[in-house]
Amino acid sequence: MNTRNSDSSITLPDGARSNVAFRSNIYLRAACEPHEDGEFIKRVRGHRALKLLLSKLSPLSPQNEAVRSCLTNRQAAEWLWSGRCDMCGCVPEGPVIRDGREEIEFRCPRGVCDPRQYVPRSVSLDRRLVARACAKLQCGQEEVIRTAASRGWPGVACPPDPARQPHPFPVRLTRWQAYMLKDADIENALRALIEERQHARSQCV
């Protein structure tokens, strides 16, 4: 497996941890099944290595379903943007640094494929939550979902709702949002957006 550079601390025979670490492109995996070694899973990089990892983690599930559940956001993004174009055979999408910020851009190496500003994606969200957000913002479903996704909402996390009514919503997102955000991230962002609007309204009263 390709794990790129891996930092590991040194453990002494008596169990004490040294303040010296070594860096290597080889990571020694724990003596357990791959799905039980979370530290190893999150270190895997590269499209071919991720494909092999997914085949071991979820051999019976379609890979597009296993990506979001088994991998980190960054690994899922790398898996998605590393696909080859059906038209030119190249890998036209990837991360670049613009003004100190990482963005995912379409840049066909052969210059023959046209870029798309947005990436279509189906997002599984709570039907009632989307309806509430639409009522608060007075706009349509796609606009409210894109508004929530664009805000980032760092650190937002909500417990699962047992009464949740999942429903697929087709939406066009930027490449960064489509690749880096999980459905749960967007759903939590919708909750935060509703709470923000409620708080703003209470301040005006």
pLDDT digits (tens, 9 = 90+) for 9-42: 555 566 666 666 555 566 666 677 766 777 788 8
Give me the pLDDT at residue 2, please.
45
pLDDT per residue over 132-161, tens digit each? 999 988 889 988 998 998 876 555 566 667
Mean pLDDT of 48-63: 74
Quickly tell me which residue has 């664009």 as its tokens.
150
Determine which of 44-53, 59-68, 143-152 has the lowest per-residue pLDDT on average: 59-68
Write a three-state SS string for the chain.
Answer: CCCCCEEEEEECCCCCEEEEEEEECCCCCCCCCHHHCHHHHCCCCCHHHHHHHHHHHCCCCCHHHHHHHHCCHHHHHHHHHCCCCCCCCCCCEEEEEECCEEEEEECCCCCCCCCCCCEEEEEEEEHHHHHHHHHHHCCCHHHHHHHHHHHCCCCCCCCCCCCCCEEEEEEEECHHHHHHCCHHHHHHHHHHHHHHHHHHHHHHC
Give me the pLDDT at residue 28, please.
66
Give me the pLDDT at residue 128, please.
93
Q: Looking at this protein, which amino acid is placed at residue 41?
A: I
Angle between helices 47-57 and 73-81 (to 10 degrees): 120
pLDDT band at 113 (very low <50, low <70, confident <90, very high): low
Q: 196 pLDDT exceeds 50?
A: yes
Chain Cα centroid distance, residue 155? 14
Nearest C-alpha neighbor of 6 from the set 39, 36, 43: 43
Selected residue with higher pLDDT from 183 and 87: 183
Q: How far apart are CA 79 and CA 68, in angstroms?
A: 10
Instruction: Give the distance between the most distant pair of CA atoms in the chain.
Output: 66
Give me the pLDDT at residue 168, please.
92
Give me the pLDDT at residue 126, please.
93
CB crowding 37-54: b at 16 or more within 10 Å, else e: eeebbebbbbbebbeebb
Give me the pLDDT at residue 145, please.
92
